Amino acid sequence: IFELSFWVFVLGIFRNLIVAYAITSFILGIVFVWRFKGEGIVPIREITRTMGQVALVVALFFTLLFVADLSGTLETGLYDSMDDNVPEMTTARGLATAIGFFALTFGGTLLAMFAVLVGGFGIIGMIYVFLVGGTPKLIEKLEGITRREDTESKLIMWFFGIPEALDTDLVLVDEPAPETRFPWDRFRAAVLWQVAFGIILAIYVSLNPWLLREFSMGELFRFMSSAFVVLPILVLPWFIHMRLSARYKGVSKDFYFYKAFKDRFTGLIIASGTLLIFLKFAYETSSIEEILAAFSSYIFIMVLCIIAFTFIYFNFFE
């Protein structure tokens, strides 16, 4: 009973924290949109115009499916005519229904994209504030650091994997050149790392044998569908060090902080033995179709949001 209650309590705490984080991000996002709207490599006007075009394409696509279902040409599940009280579908009534469906789909899609945009500005804006305030202090702390200092210094050296023999007296940084083109290479790398971590975290949470004793796989994947908002916090701070080329000068090769960040987080999150155990347990307790269906819906939502958040970071904040 204690173990059962413990996991319910822990997941409830995390769910409440994520909801609070999402609400705070949306509120702050309004402020950050106003502050940074004129600083993007790709102008905000072009972004909103593209959002309108995407919403139009999505609305047209689903309206065509709806009309096909309405006419009996194709069964899509978008139109339900099982109610006996529904009046006979005339041409005029069908046209009005299709127009109404199009308007709702277009408006709903556009509203959802604007919510992701504003929330993304809030999430990335908070990371930006943290990086602006914390990066200079971290670099200053790394300069001349040794294991003979306080506990904080020992933890930092462990986290970065700094060898004892490395000369840490001087941290080298390059002044980043102003960019007139969107940095697609860094953008793709950041998206791939976040998606990889999102999949790994989903395995740890949604296929966890202890959690599956209390929650269904669907409930855990629904939790992860909101929990992935923490992924930018884990990955994007690496890229400020990549942009600055922050490093120690080594004898044979330099020690780059970006690579140290990446290696440490990868080591902390990925434990192949544990992952294989969780996958084996999930396969024994659930069908492969159920696992793939749950993963597919989660990954679809996660990838779309991660792409949006990462684009906001590199376009407006880096």
314: its two tokens? 């590199």
Which regions of the chain are under pLDDT 50? 1-3, 82
Q: Would you say residue 49 lies in a domain?
A: no
Q: Would you say residue 220 lies in a domain?
A: yes
Q: What is the pLDDT of residue 80?
A: 59
Q: What is the pLDDT of residue 186?
A: 92
Q: Would you say residue 92 lies in a domain?
A: no
Name the residue type at position 172.
L
Q: Would you say residue 167 lies in a domain?
A: yes
Q: Would you say residue 44 lies in a domain?
A: no
Q: What is the pLDDT of residue 88?
A: 59
Name the residue type at position 175.
E
Question: Degrees (nearest 5) of the Cα angle 268, 269, 275?
Answer: 125
User: What is the reported pTM?
Assistant: 0.83
Strand order in the sheet with 171-172: 171-172, 247-248, 255-256
Phi and psi angles of residue 176, each rounded to the nearest 5 degrees, phi first: -70, 135
Which domain range does residue 238 map to? 2-30+120-317
Q: Would you say residue 263 lies in a domain?
A: yes
Q: What is the pLDDT of residue 313?
A: 95
245: its two tokens? 């080329």
**How many H helices and E strands in the chain?**
11, 3
For the chain, the domain total comes to: 1
Q: Would you say residue 96 lies in a domain?
A: no
CB half-sphere exposure, 120, CA atoms < 13 A: 24
Q: Would you say residue 136 lies in a domain?
A: yes
Contacts of 226 (CB under 8 A, 6+ apart): 15, 18, 19, 22
